Structure 1
Amino acid sequence: MEKEPIKSHEDLEVYKMAFDVAMKIFELSKKFLVEEKYSLTDQIRRSSRSVCANLAEAWRKRRYEAAFVAKLNDCESEAAETQTWLKFALQCNYLNVETGRELYETYNRVLGILVNIIKNPSSWLIKR
């Protein structure tokens, strides 16, 4: 069975994974304390969504390797930042250990894919 060709960033497995986990974080963060609204809640939502937004930008910059890789590096940074916020949420008892571990591991998978693309960008680039 052949895979469908990738036509947009939304077809990328890494994008789908990052989007799904960002939506889980959004739902879970609705239960964070109200005093966290402008700190932890806002930050974890922003960084998790930024992974997806930067992936969309990277996809559109595939004509230029340096620009493509730079945006992927931004994705990587945002994913790692989200992991840090997840640790804070766990330590503050806003997430249970199992949920925190699951979300953190999803970001490990996202990071692994991003690092592989960053190391080997040529197959992703639009040939001129």
Structure 2
Amino acid sequence: MSSYKDLEIYKMAFELAIEVHYLSLKLPSFEKFEQGSQIRRSSKSIKDQIAEGYGRRRYKADFIKFLIYAQASCDECVSQAEMIAQLYNETKGWKELIEKYNLLGKKLNRFIQYVEQSWNKPGTRN
């Protein structure tokens, strides 16, 4: 893999951030700048943490640290989406989003385990 863009977790996080962006714009106008803004930031943070961690992949501990930050932001997205669905009784779209973020969280966890157990420096055999 030659780029963070090759990682399945990055691709999934990127697509979910786009989905969150558009779905959050359908919230009531006052909420677009409160709850909507928060979930947009946390959703975009996931892909950014993956990219930044990949950039530091030579340092295994740093790579893992950023992947853990990405997982924490993923959990935050689930929490935010659950709040929105509860507050506005808007389960359409949000429930599916929660399921997708739960899946991403599992994939992130598996990738973190892989890096912890098997990751070598770039340019060496993994």
Query: Structure 1 length as normaliser, TM-score?
Result: 0.87
How far is the alpha carbon of 1:95 from its aligned partner? 3.1
Q: 1:49 aligns with which of 44, 53, 56?
A: 44
Equivalence for 2:91: 96
Any unmatched runs of 5+ in structure 2?
none
Are 1:32 and 1:94, in contact at CA under 8 Å, matched by a contact in 2? no
Q: 1:84 aligns with which of 71, 79, 84?
A: 79
Asked whether 1:11 is paired with 2:6, we answer yes
How far is the alpha carbon of 1:114 from its aligned partner? 1.1
Query: Structure 2 length as normaliser, TM-score?
Result: 0.88
Counterpart amino acid of residue 115 in structure 1: N
Change beyond 3 A, Cα 1:7–1:123: same
Counterpart amino acid of residue 110 in structure 2: N
Moved over 4 A (4+): none
Equivalence for 1:120: 114
Equivalence for 1:110: 104
How far is the alpha carbon of 1:82 from its aligned partner? 0.4
How far is the alpha carbon of 1:92 from its aligned partner? 1.9
- Specify the SS of the correspondent of 1:46: helix
Are 2:60 and 2:119, in contact at CA under 8 Å, matched by a contact in 1? no
Any unmatched runs of 5+ in structure 1?
1-5
What RMSD in Å do the two structures reach over aligned CA positions? Answer: 1.7
